[in-house]
Amino acid sequence: MAKADIFDHDIHTVDYRSEYEALRIDSGTLLGIEGRQVESLNGPYHFTVDPYETCLRAHWFQERTVSEDGRPLPVDFDFDAWPVVPVPSSWNTERDDLYYYEGLGLYARTFSYLPENEDERVFLHFEGSAYRTYVFLNGEHRGMHDGGSTPFSVEVTDALKRENRLIIAVDASRSPNRVPMDNTDWFNYGGIYRDVMLVRTPKNFIKSFQSQFVPGTLEKVFASLTMDAPIDGTAVYMIEELGVEQEIPIKQGKGYVTFPVDLVPWSPEKPKLYTVKVRYGEDQLIDSIGFRDIRVDGLKILLNNQEIFLKGVSVHEDHITLGKTTNEDVIRATIADLKEMHGNFLRLAHYPHTRLFARIADELGVLLWEEIPVYWAINFSNRETYADAENQLSELILRDYNRASVIIWSVGNENPDTDERLSFMTSLVQKARETDATRLVSAACMVNKTKLKLEDRLMHQLDIIGNNEYYGWYEPNFSDFLAILNNTDIMKPFIITEFGGGARAGYHGTKDTMWSEEFQEALYEKQFATLEKTPYVRGTTPWIFYDFRAVRRLNRYQEGFNRKGLIDSDRKRRKLAYYVTQRYYKNKM
């Protein structure tokens, strides 16, 4: 190998990313993992920062340490000598020097593999890695994935050996053309912060299946199935508790069937789950599914034909010690805090939270709004940006389709009403409906502050109108809020998806002292009193449940946190506004 061959790619190639971008991983390869036997690849990984992206420029993953004639080459990498970090974790919380790091991070580890069956196929599966992920196995690039909060799978059957080197490059940098964009109001955690696993399947396997009540009914169920290849055959759908065993004819890799059932509908009051098995040949998926119907009727939201008011709160996936990583204990504690407040609904903002959240919400009986990070001024005219958003929406829906707790897909938050944005968001709404006809679609829309009226054109495309407003905080004239509600001709259910104001836990003053708990308390009292005058408001998710990191918030009361939480970032100290919300929800039917 000539000297120029070694170094020119490293130093002089400007468009070094294009070779990786050509092999994108998207929702088309996403593997259903429910009920599968998986092998965890969590644990310690050797890790280093790579701010100049030299791994990509110089192909470090190929581990070329000698020349063609066997002479040693000077290299700048040393995978096995790098310090270790745990996976999953956010690198920002692992070392002080990484707290604000937003560039490329490199992970390396080895693992052993022995085939169990002659025709088995093997996939690497990632639950969440922020924001762009490059996967390399045994010196080969296997694919690149965009989207920090949705799962992805990549087949590695042909690349596996007895001993394997896995290198993962994770890019946490902010970009105006990605989803989310470079300007957000939450902390930019980087790294592999959710589970990584190895998944084995038969040669022909079930890629995904969906099951729910046929929309508008409580006595008929459908089952939809997608195979990994366009094959013909027959699958079997079973709910042993009910004695259900239903054949699903498969044509060109697709199957769909409906049949009558007699079961207990899922609801927050009675979160009944059934063990559902789907089998094709040697492959089987198993899931715990609650069956419920959600729809709108005029200004009403109907769950299983019963009107419901969504008593909720918004929450970020942000923890004072874990960062964006979470676990079962944290999720269960969050839901316990909600139920203590007499709530039944959580808006998971502003990106897909872990799949574990919806699973536990199914079990405990909590309704969820799930959202993709089409946030603020996304580049709505960029086709690649749209493709990124649509893919994240598709991956989210595929992941959580069978979760009864998820009743709303949100396609965005606080976007200015332009022609480009309307086209972008309308296409996302249509994609959500094409992929899933069993849920409602919404977005957090904006107010025309000049006309004091909600007239976002996207409202006409949605099933439920979401609205973020901060009257009494960013907009001091609180009387304008009621004027907006009275001026807007509302024909659909309306959720106040954000309202509130900041308060430092433990800081006290009068109700006119900004940043005090008393100021926030009085603001919440005004909000709820006003909402009682608006019958079309069918839910509220005040901003926000817990204080969370936000580097744009730098005054003496916030110190790098958004302090609008009802509970402090320690998740223990409840502010006075928490109890205002608790009283309102206790009496709200």
Q: Mean pLDDT across the stretch 261-282?
A: 98
Predicted confidence (pLDDT) per residue in 186-203, tens digit: 999 999 999 999 999 999
Identify whether 46 is preceded by a cis peptide bond (ω within 30 of 0): no
Residue 243 CB neighbours (<10 A): 7
d(CA 28, CA 384) in angstroms, rounded, equals 17
Looking at the chain, the number of H-run helices and the number of E-run strands are 10, 32
pLDDT at 5 > cutoff 80: no
- Assigned CATH for 3-201: 2.60.120.260
SS3 485: helix
Please say whether the beta carbons of 588 and 309 come within 8 A: yes
Query: Tell me, what's the pLDDT at 137?
Result: 98
pLDDT at 87 > cutoff 80: yes
Please say whether the beta carbons of 211 and 573 come within 8 A: no
Distances (CA, A) of 588 to 181, 338, 365, 543, 584: 38, 15, 18, 19, 6
Residue 587 C-beta-side C-alpha neighbours within 13 Å: 8
Assign 1 a pLDDT band (cuts: 50, 70, 90). Answer: very low
Residue 571 CB neighbours (<10 A): 17
pLDDT at 4 > cutoff 50: no
Predicted confidence (pLDDT) per residue in 452-468, tens digit: 888 899 999 999 999 99
Query: Tell me, what's the pLDDT at 330?
Result: 98
Query: Tell me, what's the pLDDT at 10?
Result: 63
d(CA 27, CA 328) in angstroms, rounded, equals 26
206-292: what fold?
A: Immunoglobulin-like (2.60.40)
pLDDT at 582 > cutoff 90: yes
Predicted confidence (pLDDT) per residue in 495-518, tens digit: 999 999 999 999 999 999 999 999
Query: Tell me, what's the pLDDT at 477?
Result: 85
Assign 476 a pLDDT band (cuts: 50, 70, 90). Answer: confident
d(CA 565, CA 554) in angstroms, rounded, equals 16
d(CA 447, CA 499) in angstroms, rounded, equals 13
CATH 2.60.120.260 placement within the chain: 3-201
Q: Mean pLDDT across the stretch 174-185?
A: 95
Predicted confidence (pLDDT) per residue in 477-501, tens digit: 888 888 888 888 888 999 999 999 9
Query: Tell me, what's the pLDDT at 9?
Result: 56
CATH superfamily placement of domain 302-587: Glycosidases (3.20.20.80)
Residue 521 CB neighbours (<10 A): 18
CATH 2.60.40.10 placement within the chain: 206-292
CATH 3.20.20.80 placement within the chain: 302-587
Q: Read off φ and ψ for residue 541, nearest 5 degrees.
A: -135, 80
Q: Which helix (H) or strand (E) holds 188?
A: none
Q: Cβ neighbours of residue 261 under 8 Å, at least 6 residues apart?
A: 219, 220, 221, 239, 242, 244, 291
Please say whether the beta carbons of 500 and 543 come within 8 A: yes
pTM above 0.85, yes or no: yes
Residue 333 CB neighbours (<10 A): 12
Q: Mean pLDDT across the stretch 35-50?
A: 97
Assign 581 a pLDDT band (cuts: 50, 70, 90). Answer: very high
Query: Tell me, what's the pLDDT at 488?
Result: 83
Q: Read off φ and ψ for residue 458, nearest 5 degrees.
A: -65, -25
